[in-house]
């Protein structure tokens, strides 16, 4: 159970949340065009909705160049590492579950440049993620904040595991409470489900074979030793 929950959290962190659960989160947040597309594709409920998806720019295959060709602000190695770490938690709004650090689109590169500028200006991770979430909604965060309706996402599996585990435990315990004799009786009950006609046939054959064995004349036992 623990391992499964760990996998769930990993999936949440790596973008599954923005696809599978955006429908649920859509109840509480403004669904972005991309997340709606992913949800539609996943559920295959309404292919027509795909037509309403916004037009989006194609990825820039060259990548790594900030939009407008502007020079990227120089950061210290520690600041750069921090910018990359924060960037890994921001979803590229026009991609499917990719962080902006891994997306070559102009928009992601511009967002990363904006993020680096904010890191350079001394903003902390909370301030930066709040900045992007205020503009793109919480669906832009690959690490959904543990508050409000998102708690359902984080605590739902845990609650399900606890409830399921509790049910399993109680059913195992109730079986364990049965006395051994009662268990044997229960098994005998199961044997009773065997159709009677077969059992009767077996019994009849056993009886016949016993009767025929009893009716056979007793043969004189040969004497040991050599015959004269």
Residues that bind another protein (CB under 8 A): 22-27, 30-34, 36, 39-40, 43, 45-46, 49, 52-57, 66-68, 70, 93-94, 106-107, 110-111, 113-114, 133-137, 188-189, 191-192, 196, 199
Cα radius of gyration rounded to whole Å, the chain: 36
Shortest separation between residue 96's beta carbon and another protein, angstroms: 13
Closer Cβ to another protein, 135 or 146, answer by number: 135
How many whole angstroms separate alpha carbon 221 and alpha carbon 228? 16
Shortest separation between residue 135's beta carbon and another protein, angstroms: 3
Closer Cβ to another protein, 10 or 168, answer by number: 168
Shortest separation between residue 21's beta carbon and another protein, angstroms: 10
Q: Are 86 and 129 in contact (CB under 8 A)?
A: yes
Q: Are 87 and 110 in contact (CB under 8 A)?
A: no
The SS3 assignment for 90 reads strand
How many whole angstroms separate alpha carbon 156 and alpha carbon 147? 13
Closer Cβ to another protein, 10 or 72, answer by number: 72
Shortest separation between residue 12's beta carbon and another protein, angstroms: 17
Q: Are 109 and 60 in contact (CB under 8 A)?
A: yes
């Amino acid at each position: 159970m623990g391992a499964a929950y760990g996998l769930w959290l990993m999936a949440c962190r790596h973008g599954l949340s923005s696809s599978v659960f955006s429908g649920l989160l859509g109840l509480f947040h403004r669904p972005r065009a991309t997340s709606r597309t992913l949800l539609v594709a996943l559920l295959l409920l309404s292919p027509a909705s795909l037509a309403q998806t916004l037009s989006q720019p194609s990825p820039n295959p060259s990548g790594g160049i900030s939009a407008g060709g502007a020079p990227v602000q120089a950061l210290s190695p520690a600041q750069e590492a921090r910018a990359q770490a924060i960037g890994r938690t921001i979803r590229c709004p026009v991609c499917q579950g990719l962080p902006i650090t891994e997306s070559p689109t102009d928009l992601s590169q511009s967002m990363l440049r904006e993020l680096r500028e904010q890191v350079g200006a001394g903003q902390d991770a909370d301030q930066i993620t709040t900045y992007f979430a205020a503009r793109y909604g919480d669906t832009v965060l690959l690490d959904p904040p543990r508050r409000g309706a998102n708690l359902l996402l984080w605590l739902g599996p845990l609650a399900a595991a606890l409830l399921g585990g509790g049910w399993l435990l109680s059913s195992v315990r109730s079986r364990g409470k049965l006395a051994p004799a009662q268990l044997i009786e229960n098994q005998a009950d199961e044997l009773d489900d065997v159709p009677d006609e077969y059992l009767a046939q077996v019994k009849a054959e056993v009886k016949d074979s016993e009767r025929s064995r009893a009716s056979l004349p007793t043969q004189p036992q040969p004497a040991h030793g050599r015959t004269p």
